[in-house]
């Protein structure tokens, strides 16, 4: 064995988590290549493109439309379009130009991504803060009448479609005038100081966050409560109770084991942060990634849709990696090799 091989083997043994992350990141590259190539192929099967509708307008010169189709490479076969786009991404670090917005996609996504992250992050945090204490309480000390009431309320909210909740929130906002019903900021946003800007954003985002919170907390309470309830009924809990372990020690053991199936479902959480608020963003005219993807799909703005697909796919792969790492931390029986 050479010295380099021995050093590499020693590094792998000493840093298994780092090696796992590197291998997972490297495995993302061919997956993303395949996803983007398949998208270009499917794009070629769809009738027409972004500029096709302009041919129906007699006021627009056909030569102008042909010029723009050549500029964006839409007159070439899909595989040539793919490799031209791939060259721009890898060499020029350019995701392309949006057909409909006539601006670089990276510039277009810059503010939209943070609006969506801001919206979903707070919805997720509030859901966790409220759902876990409630789940613990009813799993550890079930009370028939109150438990049935919580089950009914959570089932009711969990069953309501997201778009219906968003529409209901829009009606309430329009009737009361307490909350703005469009946009992420007010008209005088740029003239405000830091605290004023923060308050303005919270005012615009409060109702969309509430919509996401209602649906999120209902699902979290139902799933976590059942996981904990099953965990509290297992033989090892009976054994540690018999040994005289205090209440918080019992809860700690049950919580750690109940987290394992929950962690395995985290793989799509990051991607869900971008796709989960689609109806809310559309109904409230909120300038986020979900609404942008919806509009780009309707307009056949292919490069913009492709970028959103890459973001979503990357987030799913990152989510799987994070869930694997958390699973190894939560369960000592799991080892990353």
Q: For 66-135, what is the HEC assignment?
A: HHHHHHCCCCCCHHHHHHHHHHHHHHHCCCCECCCCCCEHHHHHHHHHHHHHHHHHHHHHHHHHHHHHHH
Spatial contact of 262 and 307, defined as CB atoms under 8 Å apart? no
pLDDT at 330 (0 to 100): 66
* Cα–Cα nearest to 112, from 269, 267, 315, 294: 294
pLDDT at 177 (0 to 100): 76
Distance separating alpha carbons of residues 179 and 194, to the nearest angstrom: 21
pLDDT at 217 (0 to 100): 74
Distance separating alpha carbons of residues 147 and 137, to the nearest angstrom: 10
Mean pLDDT for all residues in the chain = 75
pLDDT at 270 (0 to 100): 61
pLDDT at 81 (0 to 100): 81
pLDDT in tens, 36-52: 888 878 877 777 666 77
pLDDT at 9 (0 to 100): 67
pLDDT at 211 (0 to 100): 77
pLDDT at 131 (0 to 100): 74
pLDDT in tens, 172-222: 888 887 777 777 777 777 777 878 887 888 888 788 877 777 766 777 777
Task: Say whether pLDDT at 82 is over 80.
Answer: yes
Spatial contact of 105 and 307, defined as CB atoms under 8 Å apart? yes
Task: Say whether pLDDT at 96 is over 70.
Answer: yes
pLDDT at 303 (0 to 100): 79
pLDDT in tens, 130-146: 777 777 777 767 667 77
Distance separating alpha carbons of residues 317 and 25, to the nearest angstrom: 9
Task: Output phi, psi for 165, to 5 deg.
Answer: -60, -40
Q: Which residue has the higher pLDDT, 3 or 156?
A: 156
pLDDT at 30 (0 to 100): 87
pLDDT in tens, 290-314: 788 777 877 777 778 778 777 777 7
Q: How far is residue 55 from each of residues 74, 78, 131, 228, measured CA to CA in Å?
A: 14, 21, 54, 61
Task: Say whether pLDDT at 105 is over 60.
Answer: yes
SS (H, E, C) 162-182: HHHHHHHHHHHHHHHCCCCCC
**Length reported for the chain:** 337
How sure is the predictor about 265, in pLDDT bands with cuts at 50, 70 and 90?
A: low
Task: Say whether pLDDT at 281 is over 70.
Answer: yes
pLDDT at 13 (0 to 100): 63
pLDDT in tens, 108-124: 888 787 787 777 777 77
pLDDT at 332 (0 to 100): 60
Task: Say whether pLDDT at 171 is over 80.
Answer: yes
How sure is the predictor about 99, in pLDDT bands with cuts at 50, 70 and 90?
A: confident
Which domains are seen in the chain, by residue range?
3-92 (no CATH), 105-330 (1.10.3720.10)
């Amino acid at each position: 064995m050479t010295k380099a091989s021995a050093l590499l083997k020693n590094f792998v043994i000493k840093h298994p988590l780092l090696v796992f992350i590197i291998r997972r990141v490297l495995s993302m590259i061919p997956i993303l290549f395949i996803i983007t190539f398949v998208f270009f192929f499917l794009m070629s099967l769809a009738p027409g493109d972004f500029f096709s509708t302009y041919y129906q307008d007699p006021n627009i010169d056909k030569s102008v439309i042909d010029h723009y189709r050549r500029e964006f490479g839409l007159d070439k076969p899909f595989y040539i379009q793919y490799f031209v786009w791939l060259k721009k991404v890898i060499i020029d670090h350019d995701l392309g130009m949006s057909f409909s917005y006539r601006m670089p996609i990276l510039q277009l996504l810059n503010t939209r991504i943070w609006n969506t992250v801001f919206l979903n992050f707070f919805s997720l945090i509030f859901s966790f803060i409220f759902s876990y204490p409630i789940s613990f309480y009813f799993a550890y000390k079930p009370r028939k009448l109150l438990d049935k009431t919580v089950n009914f309320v959570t089932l009711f909210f969990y069953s309501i479609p997201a778009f219906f909740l968003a529409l209901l929130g829009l009606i309430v906002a329009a009737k009361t005038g307490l909350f703005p019903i469009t946009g992420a900021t007010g008209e005088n946003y740029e003239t405000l100081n830091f605290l004023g800007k923060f308050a303005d954003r919270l005012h615009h985002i409060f109702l969309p966050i509430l919509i996401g919170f209602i649906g999120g907390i209902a699902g979290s309470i139902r799933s976590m409560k059942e996981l904990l309830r099953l965990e509290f009924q297992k033989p090892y809990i009976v054994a540690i109770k018999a040994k005289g372990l205090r209440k918080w020690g019992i809860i700690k053991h049950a919580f750690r084991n109940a987290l394992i199936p929950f962690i395995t479902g985290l793989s799509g959480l990051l991607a869900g942060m971008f796709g989960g608020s689609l109806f809310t963003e559309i109904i409230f005219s909120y300038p986020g990634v979900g609404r942008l993807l919806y509009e780009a799909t309707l307009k056949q703005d292919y490069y913009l849709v492709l970028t959103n697909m890459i973001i979503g796919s990357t987030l799913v792969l990152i989510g799987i990696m994070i869930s694997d790492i958390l699973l190894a931390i939560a369960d000592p029986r799991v080892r990353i090799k």
